[in-house]
Amino acid sequence: MDPVDIVSLTRSLVDIDSTTGREGECGRWLADYLRSRGWFVNEQRVDDTRFNVLASVEQNSKVAQNFSSAIVFSTHFDCVPSFFPSRVEGDKLFGRGSCDAKGILAAQVAAAEQLRRDGESRIGLVFVVGEERGSDGARVANDAAHGSGSRFLINGEPTDNRLGLATRGILRLRLRASGRAVHSSFPELGESAIDKLIDALIELRGIPMPSDAVLGQTHYTVGLISGGVAPNVVSAAAEAEVMFRTTSDAAEVRRAVTPLERLVSIEHVLEVPPVRLKTVPGFDTAVFPYTTDIPFLPTWGDPLLFGPGSIHVAHTADEWVSIAELHAAVGHYVTLARALIRQA
């Protein structure tokens, strides 16, 4: 069989709109493509219209045995909005998902096929939906019956072809202030929720945040803020959502912010832990401030993170990936897998 045409595969995937929530058509195309190239494919249902695409070299009666493979390559085929189709200009392949993560997916398929041609059968593919909004695909894919045989998970996100040492976690907290509404000509009769929220956010700036030798200092963004009903009413309610990029156990951050409870109530919205990643010698390495599907895929073995493309162009209005980098990634993925197979 011909080697995978990585540009054509990436463009075919990019040209199907798979904005998170509408991955069905792209999943069907990908499953058919892999079947046409001799992979045994399992469409793993996530909801009524969406499914993960799991593939293995050898068919077995039980899916679990398919993945007594040592190594799985994994990434996601959903994208952030807004969809725009592919085009090539010189070395740049543009299009939504070209960088994050359909070019990566194509490079992983090309690498897996090269390993398969060389007689390696213990290779699997785990392509999931929903990474960009809550990782529902990865949570389903983590079903222990599927992953239990796998020793190593090579997850793909844009790392500029560097091997990840660690990724930051996430902690989202909602700060809610309540007050008492009165006519703003008599503010002393009321209680301003907005003032309390502002006081809490100013106090937050002065609270020392945990740091880690590898990942650095925990930082945060106040990404959402709302409150009040009218300019001439003392506000009865106000809230802000604060997103921390954590470098250690999120409980440390929650403890650090408890003094703010004098002013606001603190609601726990979401937590994803930071991750330490496995490395192999001979690769450039880096730490990454973003989170991935890896924390939701523990049954698939020790995680590694590697992918072509830059996180700085992912999610942008003119997302692109270097074609040379895509081709280089294929060789890197093969090298990584061989090093891991020796260990497995």
Active site residue 131: yes
In this chain, which stretch among 101-109, 159-167, 203-211, 213-221 interacts with Zn ion, using CB under 5 A? 101-109
Of 179 and 306, nearer to Zn ion (C-beta) is 306
Closest residue to bound Zn ion by CB? 100
Going 162 to 140 to 134 to 95, the CA torsion angle's sign is: positive
Specify the stretch interacting with Zn ion by CB under 5 A; choose among 138-146, 151-159, 200-208, 302-310. Answer: 151-159
Taking CB under 5 A as the criterion, which residues in 4-63 touch Zn ion? none
Take residue 161 and report the two structure tokens written for it.
Answer: 């072809």
| Sole window of 12-20, 149-157, 211-219, 256-264 interacting with Zn ion (rule: CB under 5 A) | 149-157
The H-or-E segment that residue 174 falls in is strand 169-178
Instruction: Strand 87-89: give its sheet, edge to edge.
Output: 87-89, 92-94, 320-322
Residue environment code for 248-281, b if the CB has 16+ CB neighbours within 10 A, otherwise e = bebeebeebbeebeebbebeeeebbbbbebbbbe
What are 266's two structure tokens?
A: 């603190």
**For Zn ion, the closer CB: 159 or 235:** 159
Which 204-263 positions form the footprint of Zn ion (CB under 5 A)? none
Give the nearest distance from C-beta 152 to Zn ion in angstroms: 20
Angstrom distance (rounded) from CA 75 to CA 124: 12
Copy the structure tokens of residue 141: 């894919």
100 binds Zn ion (CB under 5 A): yes
Question: Which is nearer to Zn ion, 306 or 339 (by Cβ)?
Answer: 306
Selecting among 23, 120, 131, 271, the annotated active-site residue is: 131
Cβ-based nearer residue to Zn ion, 101 or 253: 101
Cα(46)–Cα(8) distance, integer angstroms: 27
Q: What are phi and psi of 213, to 5 degrees?
A: -60, -35
Catalytic positions:
131
Residues that bind Zn ion in the complex, under the rule CB under 5 A: 100-101, 157
